[in-house]
Amino acid sequence: MSIVSMTLAGWIGFAFLRRRKPLEGEVREDFGIVQSAALTLLALVIGFSLSMAVGRYDQRKNYEEEEANAIGTEFLRADLLSASEAAAVRSLLPKYLEQRILFYEVRDSARLAEVDAVTTKLETDLWAAVRTSAAAQPNPVTALAVAGMNDVINTQGYSQAAWWNRIPPSAWTLMIVIGVFCNLLVGYGARSANAKMRFLLIMPLIVSLSFMLIADIDSPRNGIIRVAPQNLISVAQSLSKP
């Protein structure tokens, strides 16, 4: 879609604007300044958007690591609870971990809704287990287990918030509008047929590929560049060992 709009803008600039109002003499010099400024602005907007997308990607990776650490730590701290509650936590945490892995791997929205529902129920059951033990034995030892479970639930919320944190649609609109106008100016400023073939094909392709890269990094559930739950899978494998 973007490459079509960019290419179309370039051809409009070359086929219509250039013929109706040709650039000559001092007008072309002034146009060159405007064109350079517009292309510089486009480069800055693309760079800023790419930086935003990469920052959000790194944030999602960091929270996945924090989730894995919190779950692994709480599995060990379950020994600080009473025998019945410890057994409940140790049986629920692997199921909870399985749902967290699915959260990172599932793409279907209906399946994701099921994962979220199961995750919420497991969080309720896990908290009920540590709360019961803390109420029966209110001491600093059980407080460690309660704090660990609190970290497990909190990191899940942080991860969810990071997946919701995307580049705003207004920023995408601004970037696309600037890209269209820049391609229009490139087509308008083309001097010859050879320049037309170079700029009206290469420029839209470069801009569209930049947009595609930003969109791929910014989309946590779709595309090629995704956060793999490597740390969560590693914790699941360690918990499954006898």
Instruction: Specify the pLDDT at position 68.
Output: 93
The pTM of this model reads: 0.81
> What distance in Å separates the CA atoms of residue 209 and residue 32, rounded to the nearest whole number?
25
Confidence check: pLDDT of 159 > 70: yes
pLDDT in tens, 42-69: 899 999 999 999 999 999 999 999 999 9
Averaged pLDDT of the chain: 84
| Per-residue pLDDT at 28 exceeds 60 | yes
205-214: per-residue pLDDT in tens?
888 888 899 9
**Torsion angles phi and psi, residue 236, rounded to 5:** -60, -40
- The yes-or-no verdict on residue 7 having pLDDT over 80 is no
Q: Binning pLDDT at 50, 70 and 90, where does residue 143 land?
A: confident
Q: How does residue 103 score in pLDDT terms, banded at 50, 70 and 90?
A: very high
Distance CA 183, CA 187 (A): 6
Domain boundaries, the chain: 2-53+167-218, 60-166+230-240
Q: Which CATH class is domain 60-166+230-240?
A: mainly alpha
Percent of the chain with pLDDT over 70: 86
pLDDT of residue 38: 87
